[in-house]
Each structure stands twice: as C-alpha cells, then as structure tokens.
Structure 1
Amino acid sequence: MSAYALDKDLAELAGSARAALVRVIEATGVWAGDPVWRAAFEAVPRHLFVPYYYVGVKDGYERRWGESADPRTREQWLRGAYTDAPLATRLRDGDLVSSSSQPSLMAMMLAELRVADGDRVLEVGAGTGYNAALLAHRLGDDDLVTTVDLYPDITEAARQHLAAAGHHPAVVTGDGARGVPERAPFDRIIATCALTSVPHAWLAQCRPGARILTPLATGLLALTVRDAGHAEGHFLHTPAYFVPLRGEGRPDREPVPLGGVPSSARDHELFRFLLALTRDSLDPQEAYALWNREGMPSRERYGITVSGEHEWAWLDDPEGPYAWPLAG
C-alpha cells in the first residue's frame, strides 16, 4: 500500500487527526488576524508530505514509514504526522538536512507573511513541499508560488508530494541565497531555513513594499523592502530554530566560547539570541554586559537594516548607539 493511498480506517484517522491539529493551531491564536489560513490547514493533508520521517532514539534516529507491513506501525506513523511537532525528514551522514516544521510555527509564519490575493511568493527551503502546498491553496493559483532548495533529492520529493496533493507550483533546485530571478518579481519571500544575514539578491527580486520573513539568529525577522538596495524591519517575539541555509561558501559555524559569562546567562534563550546576532561584532562578555545593562531585552526590540552593501543589526533604533554589522 502506498502512503498516498490509505485504507479506509487510516483515511478516517487521517481526517480526524488533521481536524484535531487544526484545533490545536487555532487555540494558539495565530489565525486571529488572517483566519483564511485555517481553510488551508484543513484542506492540505500533511501525511502526504511525510511518507516517512525520523524520530530520535538512544543511538540516533529511527524511521517511521507509511508503507510498513505492520498496521500498528502505520497508525503510529500517521498519528505522528499530525502532531504539532517538527519532523526530521532527511538525514545525510547522520546530520539533519531537512525537516517538516512544527505546524503551529508554520501557521504563525504564514499569517505574519501577510499574503494578499495575487501575490507572487518565493519560499526558500522547499522541505517536504507542505508549506508550498499551503501557500498554493491560500492563493488559489499554483503559478504564484515558487519554492527552491539546494538538493535535487529534496526538490524531487517535494514535487512528488505536491503532485499527490494536487498542486504544481514551480519547484526549483538551486542555492536559495541567490533567489530565483527567472520567476521574479516577488511580493513575498519566506525562508524555512536559518540565515546569518539577508541575501542582497532577494531584495533585487522583490517589488517595492514586498515583505520578507526569515529565520535569523534564532529569531524571525520581518523586513519591508523599499527598493533593490534597501530594507528594514524588526524581529517577531517568537524564538525559531531551523536547519541552516546550505550552499556554496557557507560552512558550518563553530560554537562561541562562553568563558567569563555567568552560568545564569549562558542558557538563557534571550541571551543566546543576542549572542547569535552579534557574534561577528561583540565578544560574549561584551554581549553579556549589554544584555544585563539593557534589562534582558526581548526580541521585538531588535531589528535589521539593509542599505546598499551594508547590513547591520540594532537595538531599539537603527541609528542608535547599539548597532552591529552583519558579516553574513
């Protein structure tokens, strides 16, 4: 049996599990400003996009598969597909390279993207294709959606999953930092992978007034694009941890040594955010002194400005005393 074609009992379970997931997401309040997204999550079956996934076990990862011969295992797979949790979907040499994000976080990001009818949207990080399907359903036109990923096996799987769900947006294999110029201009760009700076190619492929939503430094940054060389915006309140954007010239970064930083700060989520945001400009002791002096500032007080070749993070004011260049 293919995971795309469930037997009657599993099909009924999928329907009830999807409805339960929608209720869980709705309870978070993320749709209050744009309830149209509820219909997208009701309509798009998540299990079509995760025919298998991996769960952490003592010695690594265990695969859950929708085509297992054991009916109890298939049921376990299906229930897991509709939990409000991220699912690891691609491993390479033991490292996670792709996942299906937590649905409630996806819903919040999609609502914060502020999509309007007729918008052209670029998604950076195709993943399973689930997010692209939600966008295609919301916009009612597959051709308005473009999704890009670095690895051919990921884009091919996403294309198959999308087709199984009845959607055919543009699925492109390439370096997401370069955007997809042949599909531009875009009104919205959403990334589902973590960045260390904002790629200038994105701005050049946006219409004036476009909105960019991207994970950066364990936060979610919402930028408004003024023109091809200028954009600015604040971080949202929520933490966000995503697989890093991979591609040419982007090696893994080494951990920052925290000697001299009090233990009370080392694991504090807001300090770790500031540390990630300023790692190319402040040493950890300087970052701690600022963080402590400013009363452990929340994410919404921080922002990013892109102006020509320059890009910097700031606290409270783009032209204020606390500003740090982003090295990318």
Structure 2
Amino acid sequence: MSAHALDRDLEDLATSARAALVREIDASGAWAGDPGWREVFGAVPRHLFVPYYYVGVAGGYERRWGQSPDPAARERWVRGAYADTPLATRLRDGELLSSSSQPSLMAMMLVALQVADGHRVLEIGAGTGYNAALLARRLGDDDLVTTVDLEPEITESARGHLAAAGYRPAVVTGDGARGVPARAPYDRIVATCTLPSIPRAWLAQCRPDARILTPLATGLVTLAVQDAEHAEGRFLHTPAYFVPLRGGSRSEPELPPVAGLPRRAREHELFRFLLTLTRGSLDPQEAYTLWEHEGQPQRERYGITVRGEHEWAWLDDPEGPYAWPLPG
C-alpha cells in the first residue's frame, strides 16, 4: 500500500472516529444547552493538535505518535486522539506540563462560557491549540480569539497545530495570570489550568457583563463581571482536574493531613473539594463538622466573590456565615 493510500485511510479513520466522538458527547448531554457546538466539534480535527501524546503504562508513559513506522501504531494514535479522555501532551522529568482536556468536559465548559457572535475571548493556557480552534470555528473570526501560555515551546507548537488546521487566532507567550492587556477588552475569559484565586488583571481586562470560567479547587467556577473591581458566581456541578497555572508565585499548596477523620470523608470527592477550597482557613476537623452539618453539599452551593481588594469563597450566600478568604 502506498504512503498516500495509507494517509487517506488514516484520514478516513479520523473522520469516522471524530463522528463517533461527536455522538458520544451528544449522548452525554454536554452541549444540550447550546447544540451549536455539535457542528464545531465535528469540524475541528483533534488529531492535528496531538501529533503525539502519552498514555500511562506500567512503570511510566508510552508515547503514541502519528509518524510511527508501524501502521498499527498510527491507527492506535488516531483512535486515541478521538477518545473522550484527556491526553498528556508534554512531560518533563515525569511531571505533566500540558495536556489536551477531555472533549466532553471541554464541550461542557464552552457551553457554560455562553459565547455569542462578536465576543472577544481570552483563553488562559494554550495547550495544544485545540480549544482555541473550537472557539475560532464557533465565532467565525480568528481575530476574536486570544490564547496565552507561559512556555514558548507550547505556544510555538500550538501556533503550528492551529495553522495546520486552518485557524490563526492570536497566540501569545506570557503569564496567563496577567492576561493579555494588549488584546483587551474581553467579553469572555476561559482558563484551562487551575488557579488558587481569581487574578485581578482578568477583571480589569473585561467588559462590563463579561463572563469568566476557570478551574479552581477541583471545580469550575463561572463569574459574572460587573466591573474591574467586582465579580461573583457559583461553581458548576462537575469535578474538574487541571494542571496548575505556571508563572508568578501561584503554586498549589498541599492539602492538610486528614488522619483521624472518618474514611468516608477522607475519600469523598466533595469533602476533598471543600478542603481544597478552604485550605488555610479551615482545619480538616472544622471542615468535616461543617460538611456533615450542611448535608455534604454539592459544588453548586459554593461560590466565589471578588470585591475590591477582597476575594472569598462561600457556601450558599456570599454574605452568609460560611465564607473563607482566598489567597490574593
């Protein structure tokens, strides 16, 4: 079989695998609130954004790549590119630096972002460039989309992937916590990396009535921006685990020790969310007492408020009895 025929076979496989992924996301209900994203995910070729990635195997990671001399390995690469799973795309000394998020989670986040025609969007964390391509496709204007990442090698490869797929949004190398003021103001800001708090620079670069969606404390919070000093919103229902934002001093501290607490709390995902959200403000025993007293609250009951120099997390009510300061 000629190389050309093999490439065509791989393209045919990619097309069918992409259609299957769209059906899978459709069945999950991820874009029920905005079915317009179905066409977008069906049109943007994810495999062009992950020319190689890593899968966990016993003892470490195995690299899958599209230029493997083994036809079966190339087929595994294509099928994996369209699996509804996150893909590790960049490692350093065994540490995950960058990944392509789970497509159904990306779809849910994009629906929650509530983009509309003409919106200017800033993405924090360029990754492979796939999410920026989805946004550019949906908005129909590459210039409305800006994506930023701290690592030059990440932005360079993202720019190449985007060009290969036919998209040219602005790809900027810089500290995402500082936003990209030269391209502001924005109607929407979406982060694909987790942060311990909301950077004030983001609010300053937003238009009034803008919307921010960011991972925080193993969840996803959506904030309505009133002005450069005020934003507030609640968490979505879903858990979300992203690599931390790199740059500045925005490191993620370790969770406090939970020895002595009941095992069902220690291992409960919602309790660990509360611990992560309130670390430095509540010790584990206090967190456990609150968690039990309030009926093991779901994420949607928690929220974030930014007001002037103050920023805090809360349960049920921003002015209620359960509120915890976030790091500035």
TM-score using structure 2 length: 0.97
**Farther-moved stretch of structure 1 (201-210 vs 6-15):** 6-15
In the alignment, is the contact (CA less than 8 A) between 2:313 and 2:326 conserved in 1?
yes
In structure 1, the partner of 2:306 is 306
Deviation at 1:28, TM superposition (A): 1.1
Alpha-carbon displacement from aligned partner over 1:98-125 (angstroms, at most 9, x marks no partner): 0000000000000100001000000000
C-alpha separation between the residues in 2 aligned to 1:237 and 1:251? Answer: 25
SS for the counterpart of 1:162 is helix
In structure 1, the partner of 2:318 is 318
C-alpha separation between the residues in 1 aligned to 2:260 and 2:198? Answer: 31
Deviation at 1:63, TM superposition (A): 0.4
Letter in 1 for 2:216: L
Deviation at 1:259, TM superposition (A): 2.2
Flag as ranges the 4+ runs of structure 1 deviating above 3 A: none
In structure 2, the partner of 1:17 is 17
In the alignment, is the contact (CA less than 8 A) between 2:196 and 2:252 conserved in 1?
no
In structure 1, the partner of 2:191 is 191
SS for the counterpart of 2:238 is strand
**Is the aligned partner of 1:60 residue 2:60?**
yes
C-alpha separation between the residues in 1 aligned to 2:317 and 2:211? Answer: 20
Deviation at 1:260, TM superposition (A): 2.2
SS for the counterpart of 1:313 is strand
C-alpha separation between the residues in 2 aligned to 1:326 and 1:165? Answer: 40
Alignment of 1:1-328 (within 5 A): 7-328=7-328
**Farther-moved stretch of structure 1 (97-106 vs 56-65):** 56-65
C-alpha separation between the residues in 2 aligned to 1:104 and 1:259? Answer: 35
SS for the counterpart of 2:157 is helix
C-alpha separation between the residues in 1 aligned to 2:53 and 2:196? Answer: 27
**Matched residues, percent identical?**
78
Letter in 1 for 2:278: T
Q: Which structure 2 residue ranges, 5 or more long, are not aligned?
A: none
Letter in 2 for 1:272: R
SS for the counterpart of 1:286 is helix
Q: Which structure 1 residue ranges, 5 or more long, are not aligned?
A: none
CA gap 1:325/1:62 in 2 versus in 1, 3 angstroms: same
Deviation at 1:220, TM superposition (A): 0.4
C-alpha separation between the residues in 2 aligned to 1:252 and 1:186? Answer: 27
Deviation at 1:6, TM superposition (A): 6.8
SS for the counterpart of 1:237 is coil
CA gap 1:257/1:135 in 2 versus in 1, 3 angstroms: same
C-alpha separation between the residues in 1 aligned to 2:10 and 2:227? Answer: 50
Letter in 1 for 2:28: T
Q: How many residues align?
A: 325
Deviation at 1:252, TM superposition (A): 4.3
Letter in 2 for 1:301: R
SS for the counterpart of 1:24 is helix
Deviation at 1:84, TM superposition (A): 0.3
C-alpha separation between the residues in 2 aligned to 1:18 and 1:291? Answer: 42
Letter in 2 for 1:106: M
In the alignment, is the contact (CA less than 8 A) between 2:302 and 2:316 conserved in 1?
yes
Alpha-carbon displacement from aligned partner over 1:2-55 (angstroms, at most 9, x marks no partner): xxx971111110110000000000011122221111111010000000000000
Alpha-carbon displacement from aligned partner over 1:308-327 (angstroms, at most 9, x marks no partner): 01000000000000000001
In the alignment, is the contact (CA less than 8 A) between 2:31 and 2:38 conserved in 1?
yes
Letter in 1 for 2:113: L
C-alpha separation between the residues in 2 aligned to 1:192 and 1:13? Answer: 28
C-alpha separation between the residues in 2 aligned to 1:208 and 1:251? Answer: 29
SS for the counterpart of 1:195 is coil
Letter in 1 for 2:303: G
TM-score using structure 1 length: 0.97
SS for the counterpart of 1:128 is coil
Deviation at 1:96, TM superposition (A): 0.1
SS for the counterpart of 1:117 is coil
Alpha-carbon displacement from aligned partner over 1:209-257 (angstroms, at most 9, x marks no partner): 0000000000000000000000000000000000011112133422321
In the alignment, is the contact (CA less than 8 A) between 2:126 and 2:155 conserved in 1?
yes
Deviation at 1:74, TM superposition (A): 0.2
How big is the alpha-carbon RMSD for the aligned residues of Structure 1 and Structure 2? Answer: 1.2
C-alpha separation between the residues in 2 aligned to 1:117 and 1:6? Answer: 39
C-alpha separation between the residues in 2 aligned to 1:136 and 1:70? Answer: 34
C-alpha separation between the residues in 2 aligned to 1:129 and 1:56? Answer: 22
C-alpha separation between the residues in 2 aligned to 1:31 and 1:251? Answer: 32
